[in-house]
Amino acid sequence: MINIFKLPTLVLLFLLAGPVSVMADEATGQRAVLITGASTGLGRAMAELLAAKGHFVYAGARRDSDIAELSAIENIQGIRLDVTVQEDIDAAVKTITEAGRGLYGLVNNAGVAVLYPLIEIDEEEFDFQMDVNLYGPYRVTKAFAPLIIESKGRITTTGSISGILSGPLFGPYSMSKHAMEAFTDSLAREMERFDVTVSIIEPGNYESKIGANIAARLKARGFSTEGSLYKEDLERMMGWLDGDQISGDPQEVAEAARKALFDDNPKRRYMVVPNQRQADVTIGKAIEELVQLNQDQKYSFSRDELVKMLDETLAANP
């Protein structure tokens, strides 16, 4: 006989509740998706695309004007959601639960970028970077996991090719996006027992407000290169942020999110870049890391063995 008092709480709740019943709004057949950071940029493109495809989107935003603007779009309900504020997250869970549609998809899209030398950045700015990009997805995923498990749904996170690459001044941002790589792989293994699929989207440089937001935050905090060991790097960065950045159409990233949420056989990773160069440097960096890991270690593989492993992996991931 099973001692139910020794079962994990989540499993016990499933046994007591009976079979899963909520995958879509019974009246409309719509599947509901929550997207954080949906007021502008990639999140806005995702929200509009999914809504146009007939899905119901809860679009997370912080400002009243953005919430109202999003709610005016068919199939979208703007919802107050600052991923750094637990009260907002709890209220969003309550709102979505009481709406009765369930929740099939979660897109952890809200993010910020803090660009500064690692040995000069102050702790407050570093904390801000991690609070949004690292703790944000953790908080939101934890809060909405019961609804996603109930619907046997999907979770995806907007990462970045900066989760593979990094460089001068990108340390804090890249660290937060590298963390999402581990978050995705670990969460995927933990959620597969509940038939929940987890993925990550790796955009390159796409049109969004993130560059302007970086510059605005730096200026608001009294940005100065005086006394910095990286004066030229910082001045070049600020010129780039203030200038016309070459970037791709965010609809490409929105389409990747749609595939991650609704394709029959979703992938773990979706790299989406606007040009060949960004693809080259990202894949090249991943290969470089593989070579460095294999170099001069007790169990190193030969070139032929590595090629065989690559062929086998390609065959397993057509």
The catalytic residue positions are 173
Q: How many CB atoms lie within 10 A of CB 236?
A: 13
Q: Residues in the chain, how many?
A: 318
Q: Give me the residue label for tokens 């492993």.
A: 309
β-bridge partners, 154: 105, 197
Residues sharing a CB contact under 8 Å with residue 248, sequence separation 6 or more, in sequence order:
204, 205, 206, 207, 273, 274, 275
d(C-alpha 122, C-alpha 243), whole Å = 26
Spatial distance between the Cα atoms of 252 and 201, rounded to a whole number of angstroms: 11
Q: How far apart are CA 130 and CA 261, in angstroms?
A: 25
260 within 8 A of 199, measured Cβ to Cβ: yes
C-beta of residue 82 within 8 angstroms of C-beta of residue 91: no
CA 253, CA 203: separation in Å to the nearest integer? 7
Angle between helices 251-262 and 41-52 (to 10 degrees): 60
The pair of three-digit structure tokens given for residue 220, joined into one six-digit string: 């608001």
**Residues 61-64: contacts with CB within 8 Å, 24+ apart?**
61/37, 63/39
CB 288 within 8 A of CB 164: no
- Nearest residue to 99 (alpha-carbon basis) of 19, 52, 30: 30
Phi, psi of 242 (to 5 degrees): -80, -15
H helical segments located in the chain: 9-17, 41-52, 64-71, 86-99, 123-133, 135-151, 171-191, 210-220, 231-242, 251-262, 276-294, 303-316
